Amino acid sequence: MPAAENALREGAARRIERPVPRKAASSTKTRRPLGLLFSCEERRLRLHHVVEAQDFNRGMLEELFSTARVMEKVVEDGGSKLLDGCIMASLFYEESTRTRFSFETAMLRLGGSVISTENARQFSSVSKGETLEDTIRIMNGYADVIVMRHYESGAARRAADISRVPIVNAGDGTGQHPTQAFLDLYTIEKELGGIDNLTIAVVGDLANGRTVRSLCYLLAKYRNVRVYMVAPEVVRMREDIKDYLSRHDVRWTEESDLREVVGEVDVLYQTRIQKERFGDRSEDYLSARGVYVVDRELLKTLRKNAIVMHPLPRVDEITVDVDGDPRAAYFRQAQNGVFIRMALLAGCLGRDLVPATVSSSTPINGHTS
């Protein structure tokens, strides 16, 4: 058996290897808690719903990243049967390329199965008027985990409130995209060796970009991080994120000129202006599009050891001649999504991941979380 799979299965004798069969729901049954379950004693990642990025503390993030590193080896070894017999429902009400395919790839790499709809808004009973809650209740009888993208902010929490099986938020309107933020941080750690003491510029559509919202929630878990928010006036970062960062002692500054700060940053996190969020406000969209473009000229002032990231898809905010620069990390970033999502699925489905060799008092990246 490959070494990576040995690492995944170690300790399995102490726990049931397959998910316990679900019993029919009743009005007196205690609902499973919304959010996360994490055993500090065993240092193993155990999840239920993955709805909001801020539900994860630093110890959980470190364990997630440790598990993702094991998953990289699993992929190198040709996959695993860790989730054999488990079914993932891919329920997407909005378009997706990277998130949907990487989740489905992650499940298949671990030996599980996938049932999916690529446009649930049109090709499911929601087009007949079925509520989200009814759809989730039905899907509970078909799948062991539901990965859901929805056009309404807060939809993932609504689903989690009534679901017995884990709900994984794959993006809910302009709300959050926690699994993207996990892979973003994982990429930063891999590329730069850590996250503490970094300066990060988030650029573009900060009002509508759910990825930057989730990323900011997670950056607050780290020490001495500085955030530059660079956006056109019509798509500035919303106040709730600014307030959250301030409450968690994260230094942040709003800037209008990217050229003024690009030489100071370790991470340049570019995003597209999201045309689909503007509705009939075409003038606002046109005023925001194209304001900030990462091109080879801008790279001349970017630090040699900095990285350029983007959640993708891009339109014209990063020119293609940047792709060959070693600091362009966005395609490596997308690949990391498979490993992070493999780790999340294994955690949601209750499978033992890595040996429990770290005590709850062990420092994480040099200090206790």
What does the alpha-carbon distance between residue 89 and residue 216 come to, in Å, rounded to a whole number?
28
Which burial class, exposed, middle or buried, applies to 126 when counting CB atoms under 10 A from its CB (0-12, 13-18, 19+)? middle
Which burial class, exposed, middle or buried, applies to 205 when counting CB atoms under 10 A from its CB (0-12, 13-18, 19+)? buried
- 73 labelled catalytic: no
Find the catalytic residue in 32, 69, 73, 98: 98
Find the catalytic residue in 58, 149, 157, 221: 149
What does the alpha-carbon distance between residue 181 and residue 343 come to, in Å, rounded to a whole number?
14
Cβ proximity of 360 and 43 under 8 Å: yes
> Which residues, listed in sequence order, are joined to residue 113 by a DSSP beta bridge?
87
- 117 labelled catalytic: no
Which burial class, exposed, middle or buried, applies to 27 when counting CB atoms under 10 A from its CB (0-12, 13-18, 19+)? exposed
Helices 330-348/178-192 angle, 10° precision: 120
> Which residues, listed in sequence order, are joined to residue 350 by a DSSP beta bridge?
none
Cβ proximity of 146 and 91 under 8 Å: yes
What does the alpha-carbon distance between residue 49 and residue 167 come to, in Å, rounded to a whole number?
5
Check the CA dihedral 155-156-161-165 and report its sign: positive
- 177 labelled catalytic: yes
Q: What is the dihedral of CA 6, 9, 13, 19, to 10 degrees?
A: -160
Find the catalytic residue in 9, 49, 58, 99: 99
CB atoms within 10 A of CB 291: 19
Q: Which of the 8 DSSP states describes residue 292?
A: S
- 29 labelled catalytic: no
- 247 labelled catalytic: no
Find the catalytic residue in 128, 247, 300, 304: 128
Find the catalytic residue in 100, 177, 310, 351: 177
* Look-up of token digits 């999201």: 274
Which one, of 81, 62, 63, 71, lies nearest residue 7 by Cα? 71
Cβ proximity of 116 and 90 under 8 Å: yes
Cβ proximity of 237 and 253 under 8 Å: no
Q: Which of the 8 DSSP states describes residue 35?
A: S
Q: Report, as residue numbers or ranges, the catalytic residues.
A: 98-99, 128, 149, 177
